[in-house]
Structure 1
Amino acid sequence: MKRHVLLGGFMGVFALTGYAQSSIALYGLIDNGIFYSTNQGGNHALQFVASPTETSVWGLRGAEDLGGGNKAIFKLGSAFSTANGTTWPSGRLFGDYAWVGLSNSTAGTLKMGRMLDSVGDYLGDFAAGGSWGGVLYAHPLDNDNLWGTYMVNNAIKYQSISLAGLAFGGMYAFSNKSAATSGSGSGFVDNRLWAAGVEYSAGPVRLAAVYEQLDNSGDDVPGTYGAVDVADANFMAARQRIYGVGASYALDHIDLSANVTRTVLSSPTGEWQNAQFTGASSMSFNNYEINAIYHATASLDLKGAYTYTTASVSGRSPHWNQLGLLAEYALSQRTSLYADGVYQRVHGDGSQFSYAQINSLSPASGDSQALLGVGIKHRF
């Protein structure tokens, strides 16, 4: 009963009060680099790397003013590979974003469609992988999705306005199933997602916390789409729970950020980058990251991040150390050049993760891997 009352009240806020004015904008980003790596399968490599620091994407976004502080909003985004022109991931026309919604200046924003999860919404700005560093700076295996290995289908998301610096929100994503396909779920809970987050800002200080739960992620026949379908899922597991907190502090020339996340997987059966992983009764990851941006000049930013990750896998305790450094020089407001380097070392403890693997690269033959390159990116 309360749900019906709340929904009716929320929709009442969006009653039309005047004629509409619309705006539509084309947006996008292209990011390319040339990188040298020391150890991919035991071999050195010199490679063209698409989207090393930010995902290349183009799209449309728009708003229609409905009057009285109300707006209809939408976003369509298509991620693509600048190496070969294909759409990413898995050939979707709008694989990055595809949502429509309503916003109100006092009630907040409601969106429906395919979109970023709540981990990205609330913790992305506190992580190098979720902000300036991209895929190469993700925590090992992107276990907490801070880089955004998966986007969320069939989702409804609410985000409040800021109230004295405090804002909150959450999302629910439907499995679109009437019965479980794997036998490990039950009806509509088989491949669903729900999450909630909160953030607080006061002057130079920002704080955030989030919880996210996936049930039977990736439990789909190819071509069907649950909340996190098989083409997107970083892990396939009966349940994946992500807990996280983040904090940042802005000084005159330095921005400092940190985040701590914990990912717990029940009955994992696969991981998209590790074909050797055949499953475990349970698995967990703890990630601790600090990162900083130093605004050296009006055009030059120096950025760095360090992550320490521990895991528990079938009685084994692998742990990772990862360090990344990036220098970015702005040629204009839209175009910049950068030099980027990432190093990772793993102590595998005899687990199925006993080799280094910077996110998205081929696994190393041993316990360390390094990458160094230069690139260019342009926004439009």
Structure 2
Amino acid sequence: MKLRSMALATLLACSGSAFAQSTVTLYGVADINIEYVNHVGAIPTAANQFNPGAAHSVFRMDSGGVSGSRWGLRGTEDLGNGVKALFVLENGFSLDSGALQQQSRMFGRQAYVGVQSSSLGQITLGRQYTSIFEALANFVPGAYATQYEPAALLTGANFREDNTVKYTGQFGPVTALAHYSFGTGLALPAFVGVATPIGGNGEVPGQARRDSAYGAALAYTQGPFGVTAGYDQWNPTIGTSSGTARKAVIAASYTYGPAKVMGGYRWGQSKNAADVLIGRDDFYWIGAAYQVTPAVALSLEYDYDNLKNQFGNTSLANPWQVAFIANYAFSKRTDVYLSTAYAKNAGLALDSASNFYATSLATGNSYALPNGKNSMLGAAVGVRHKF
């Protein structure tokens, strides 16, 4: 009897140790605001004969001002010898309506599983962020704020990709990233200058290049200084073949006390299925984030896009935007914010045909300029709770 008791105690102890090596965490963000925007038109698509219509001012409730509303599960299991299994499932939703985002995917923000080595890095498979999107996260003053950050123009509308294998390695102050997508799962409607939809829903049998994508990035952070560089390529379906969208980026940051200054340059080029140039631009940004007090944070960002070619037009006015965010934290989990931006020669978030109106399509709120207007002003007051 005594031996049985000892055996049972040993079994329970081992069982508890095994369970302690596995963790699963539920997390999320609930972010909502009231927004005012002037000079709003309709997204010009084939459904409205590519006519954005007349200008309107709007008051609306929006989900996601400084952060996209989400909930997710992430977990790890210690496999021994410095190796872990890991997974992330992250759902994006509209807090104002409860609807799913990311084309109604259950886990549209992220969905992947992989293996991590403490010395060699990690390999993950599933729906993930591109390498340059992740590498730039610490070099953008607005920190990819959902409402007005021109992330889709900076890193591409394909900044999340399905069917992706990705490598991430941390080697002292250096972070290395590389990924390959067998089919991005990004489909955009036809616009002026492109007669057919762009992209597709996944892999195309017999045509490995169509809707594939790949990229890589390196980031170095040592003390107050940081620098990153990366490359991204997407081969979207255009008709029955594929085009090419390429981007290369370099950015730097410097932290001095409570202030962090950031800026960078992104080269972009797009070609159609016949290898004819349909897009070429140089994108620049600069700004700063300042922690005034433990509770008060400010950020200011200026973005400028030098449009050299857009669907054959080489004389378009260059879009630019200035955006400001003031944030007050009641606690580590709850804060309120004021977010405002002014854009010229494009809508807020620099939404236009240059980025296929990706921000408007993703959020369900149009930032398309109407007929006869070339500027847009927006302001939002919101609350965010993290759990």
- Give the TM-score band, short-chain normalised: 0.7 to 0.9
- Asked if residue 336 in structure 1 is aligned to residue 363 in structure 2, the reply is no
CA distance, structure 1, for counterparts of residue 250 and residue 120 of structure 2: 25
CA distance, structure 1, for counterparts of residue 205 and residue 386 of structure 2: 43
Does the 8 Å CA contact 1:128/1:134 hold for their aligned counterparts? Answer: no
Q: Of residues 130, 146, 163 in structure 2, which corresponds to 1:154? A: 163
- CA drift of 1:358 comes to 10
Map 1:40-51 → 2, pairs under 5 A: 40-41=40-41, 42-51=55-64
- CA drift of 1:128 comes to 3.9
Does the 8 Å CA contact 2:34/2:382 hold for their aligned counterparts? Answer: yes
| Counterpart position of 2:198 | none
CA distance, structure 1, for counterparts of residue 237 and residue 132 of structure 2: 16
CA distance, structure 1, for counterparts of residue 32 and residue 242 of structure 2: 33
| Counterpart position of 1:277 | none
Distance 1:99 1:266, change over 3 A: same
Does the 8 Å CA contact 2:32/2:62 hold for their aligned counterparts? Answer: yes
| Counterpart position of 2:380 | 373
- CA drift of 1:167 comes to 2.5
- Asked if residue 144 in structure 1 is aligned to residue 144 in structure 2, the reply is no
Partner secondary structure for residue 95 of structure 1: coil
Deviations 1:233-269 (A, max 9, x none): xxx9611101111111111110111121122110289
CA distance, structure 1, for counterparts of residue 302 and residue 176 of structure 2: 28
CA distance, structure 1, for counterparts of residue 208 and residue 251 of structure 2: 32
Distance 1:89 1:359, change over 3 A: closer
What amino acid is aligned across from residue 253 of structure 2 in structure 1? S
Q: Of residues 118, 126, 146 in structure 2, which corresponds to 1:105? A: 118
Distance 1:237 1:49, change over 3 A: farther
| Counterpart position of 1:345 | 344
Deviations 1:165-211 (A, max 9, x none): 222120111133322xxxxxxx2111101111111111011111110
Does the 8 Å CA contact 1:26/1:60 hold for their aligned counterparts? Answer: yes
- CA drift of 1:126 comes to 1.2
Q: Of residues 314, 317, 324 in structure 2, which corresponds to 1:316? A: 314
Map 1:196-345 → 2, pairs under 5 A: 196-216=216-236, 238-267=243-272, 281-311=277-307, 312-313=309-310, 314-318=312-316, 319-345=318-344
CA distance, structure 2, for counterparts of residue 268 and residue 335 of structure 1: 48
| Counterpart position of 2:189 | none
Structure having the higher Rg:
2
Deviations 1:199-238 (A, max 9, x none): 1111011111110111125879xxxxxxxxxxxxxxx961
Deviations 1:77-98 (A, max 9, x none): 0000112111111111111111
| Counterpart position of 2:102 | 89
| Counterpart position of 1:134 | 146
What amino acid is aligned across from residue 170 of structure 1 in structure 2? A
Distance 1:347 1:326, change over 3 A: closer
Does the 8 Å CA contact 2:93/2:99 hold for their aligned counterparts? Answer: yes
Deviations 1:128-168 (A, max 9, x none): 45x252241215xx22336x6641111110111224x2221
CA distance, structure 1, for counterparts of residue 247 and residue 147 of structure 2: 19
Does the 8 Å CA contact 1:19/1:66 hold for their aligned counterparts? Answer: no
* Structure 2 unaligned residues grouped into runs of 5+: 1-16, 42-54, 184-202, 361-365
CA distance, structure 1, for counterparts of residue 250 and residue 340 of structure 2: 26
* Structure 1 unaligned residues grouped into runs of 5+: 1-17, 180-186, 221-235, 270-279
What amino acid is aligned across from residue 82 of structure 1 in structure 2? L
Identity %: 26
Moved more, 148-157 or 165-174: 148-157
| Counterpart position of 2:135 | 122
Does the 8 Å CA contact 2:65/2:339 hold for their aligned counterparts? Answer: no
TM-score, with length taken from structure 1: 0.79
Query: RMSD of the alignment, in Å?
Result: 2.6
Partner secondary structure for residue 155 of structure 2: coil
Deviations 1:5-63 (A, max 9, x none): xxxxxxxxxxxxx9672000001001111011121131111111111221111010000
CA distance, structure 2, for counterparts of residue 33 and residue 268 of structure 1: 41
What amino acid is aligned across from residue 335 of structure 1 in structure 2? T
Distance 1:59 1:310, change over 3 A: same
CA distance, structure 1, for counterparts of residue 340 and residue 380 of structure 2: 6
TM-score, with length taken from structure 2: 0.77
